[in-house]
Amino acid sequence: MILHGTMSVNGKGYLGIGGCDTVELARKFGTPLYVIDEALFRQKCREYYREFIEKNKAEVVYAAKALLTAAICRLVEEEGLGLDIVSGGELYTALQAGFPVSRLYFHGNNKSAAEIKFALEAGVGYFVVDNLYELEMLNHLAKEIPTQVNILLRVTPGVEAHTHEYIKTGQIDSKFGLVIENGQALAGIKRALEMNGVKLNGLHCHIGSQIFELESYEHTAEVLLNFSAQVYRETGWVPADLNLGGGLGIYYAAGDRPCSIQEYAEVLITALQKNALKHHLSVPRLIVEPGRSICGPAGSTVYTVGAVKNIPGVRKYVTVDGGMSDNPRPALYQSRYEACLASKAAQPPVETVSVAGKCCESGDMLIWDIELPLVEPGDILVVSCTGAYNYTMSMNYNRLPRPAMVLVNDGQADLILQRETYSDLIRNEVLPERLKKSRRVNIAVCKV
Ligand code: LLP
């Protein structure tokens, strides 16, 4: 496993993160445990801040969907980034954490009237409008307040990013955004320009996630500016803001070759300037919405090894006390991860094993064929780069309580998310009075 951020092997031969011994963290907080390396999280925010905001007067909006808790909101705010939210729940979290509303960007392809009202009343800075239904509803609800709300219109540029089918979004056949090619996007712009409740500030698109080829972004910038030139000719309106979404890929396992944040910024800025110049348009303010490339490498998951099943000549299964419930990505996207035995971090690998989760699904495998030192029950296993889309997509399958999360820095570990308890699991359940006493009841027979 590659050591990310502040990871190191300490004097005891154990894996340390943020100056904390992971074996000790496992003992103190229990497992599975999400560990966030604060220094690495902040470092990534700062790289984005330097390359986009400082050098190029662009805006960086952290995508909350990748990882969000109150503590994460605080880090994002302290590092000077905005926040991309996609639901009433994310908005509520941001508000509770005191995040400045003017730097909230509200996305989502099916915002409900209740969510829109909530966001309008809170004074959310920008709405990223996904479709005409939402546009009409937003205009109507904004006028009721009354207010004029800043919007970006999400368009579908028809760019195919090279990434997993489920996480690409830029192609025409997508549930997101108004299609440029067939005129829907232009019609949306014209309609928005007629409205009093909204102020059309610019355009938004997002081509997908975990992207390694920067050419896809170059191409997207070109498509968006070609389109902007067409819109200008037809309406006289030019986008002040151009939000090109998130998606920068990260290293998960051998073979992954991510681009740096600096390269990403250079490619986007150059493409924007070049294409604006080509069309004699003023260069729009660039907005990017990184999620994974900020929080992904900063997160690790600490597990305890339980059952070890060896099938001679076939495979050795090493089972941990979590799995798809805290990290559904391998099961959903065949994602690959690296891991190490934190309790034997100084020992060389001696065997090839596969790491299984404890859920009742054969597909609940975290890592196939990984080389580790001799694995025994009780060992502490750490999977790296689990910061993005692990906790946010975690679930209670098999009624497994979700893990706790700690923020580590400089030898200090702070709990930022409590471990769920069994009582949390049944907290919202209601047992009707008539089921409290055991008895047999007559049922109406369904005729098929
Ligand atoms: N902006 C928009 C409009 C998005 O839809 C997304 C991600 C982002 C920004 C942030 O993208 P990032 O920089 O994190 O790649 N659950 C999947 C990823 C889904 C991505 C959804 N949208 C996974 O685990 O890989």
Q: Measured between alpha carbons, how far is 237 from 201 in angstroms, rounded to an integer? A: 10
How far is ligand 1, taken at its centre, from the CA of residue 247, in Å?
Answer: 6
How far is ligand 1, taken at its centre, from the CA of residue 336, in Å?
Answer: 17
How far is ligand 1, taken at its centre, from the CA of residue 245, in Å?
Answer: 9
Nearest to 117 by CA among 90, 143, 99, 154: 143
Q: Measured between alpha carbons, how far is 303 from 321 in angstroms, rounded to an integer? A: 6
Q: Which candidate in 340, 359, 360, 446 is catalytic? A: 360
Q: Show the tokens assigned to 400.
A: 């497994």
Tell if the pTM clears 0.95, that is, is over it. yes
Give the other-Cβ count within 10 Å of 297's Cβ: 26
CB-CB contact of 401 with 331 (8 Å): no
Model pLDDT, residue 444 = 79
First to last CA, the chain: 57
Model pLDDT, residue 210 = 97
- pLDDT by position in tens, the chain (length 448): 999 999 999 999 999 999 999 999 999 999 999 999 999 999 999 999 999 999 999 999 999 999 999 999 999 999 999 999 999 999 999 999 999 999 999 999 999 999 999 999 999 999 999 999 999 999 999 999 999 999 999 999 988 776 666 656 667 888 999 999 999 999 999 999 999 999 999 999 999 999 999 999 999 999 999 999 999 999 999 999 999 999 999 999 999 999 999 999 999 999 999 999 999 999 999 999 999 999 999 999 999 999 999 999 999 999 999 999 999 999 999 999 999 999 999 999 999 999 999 999 999 999 999 999 999 999 999 999 999 999 999 999 999 999 999 999 999 999 999 999 999 999 999 999 999 987 777 787 777 6
Residue nearest atom 16 in ligand 1 by C-alpha distance:
389
Please give the number of the atom of ligand 1 that sits closest to the Cα of 332: 24
Q: Measured between alpha carbons, how far is 4 from 420 in angstroms, rounded to an integer? A: 28
CB-CB contact of 306 with 321 (8 Å): yes
Q: Show the tokens assigned to 181.
A: 């090619």
Mutate to test the pocket of ligand 1, among 289, 332, 394, 395 (most ligand atoms within 8 A of CB): 289
How far is ligand 1, taken at its centre, from the CA of residue 430, in Å?
Answer: 35
Model pLDDT, residue 406 = 99
User: Measured on CA atoms in the order 120, 125, 129, 135, is the torsion positive or negative?
Assistant: positive
Nearest to 206 by CA among 291, 325, 99: 291
| CB-based contacts of 378, cutoff 8 Å, min separation 6 | 304, 305, 343
Distance of CA 325 to the CA centre of its chain: 17
Nearest to 224 by CA among 268, 165, 257: 268
Model pLDDT, residue 443 = 80
Give the other-Cβ count within 10 Å of 100's Cβ: 12
Distance of CA 295 to the CA centre of its chain: 8
Please give the number of the atom of ligand 1 that sits closest to the Cα of 289: 9
Mutate to test the pocket of ligand 1, among 131, 155, 209 (most ligand atoms within 8 A of CB): 209
Q: Measured between alpha carbons, how far is 107 from 61 in angstroms, rounded to an integer? A: 12
How far is ligand 1, taken at its centre, from the CA of residue 442, in Å?
Answer: 50
Three-state DSSP at 338 gives coil
Please give the number of the atom of ligand 1 that sits closest to the Cα of 211: 15
CB-CB contact of 12 with 21 (8 Å): yes
Model pLDDT, residue 167 = 59
Q: Measured between alpha carbons, how far is 414 from 405 in angstroms, rounded to an integer? A: 8
What lines the ligand 1 site, CB under 6 Å? Answer: 63, 65-66, 84, 107, 167, 206, 209-210, 245-248, 289-293, 329, 333, 388-389, 393
104-110 CB contacts, 8 Å cutoff, 24+ apart = 105/61, 105/152, 105/243, 105/287, 105/289, 107/154, 109/175, 109/176, 109/177, 110/134
The DSSP output letter for 445 is P
Q: Measured between alpha carbons, how far is 403 from 391 in angstroms, rounded to an integer? A: 8
Please give the number of the atom of ligand 1 that sits closest to the Cα of 335: 25
Please give the number of the atom of ligand 1 that sits closest to the Cα of 206: 3
Please give the number of the atom of ligand 1 that sits closest to the Cα of 390: 24
**Residues in the chain, how many?**
448
Residue nearest atom 6 in ligand 1 by C-alpha distance:
246
Residue 360 bears catalytic tag: yes
Mutate to test the pocket of ligand 1, among 104, 286, 292 (most ligand atoms within 8 A of CB): 292
Residue nearest atom 9 in ligand 1 by C-alpha distance:
246
How far is ligand 1, taken at its centre, from the CA of residue 165, in Å?
Answer: 13
Model pLDDT, residue 164 = 63
How far is ligand 1, taken at its centre, from the CA of residue 355, in Å?
Answer: 26
How far is ligand 1, taken at its centre, from the CA of residue 145, in Å?
Answer: 32
Distance of CA 104 to the CA centre of its chain: 16
Three-state DSSP at 434 gives helix
Q: Show the tokens assigned to 375.
A: 């694995």
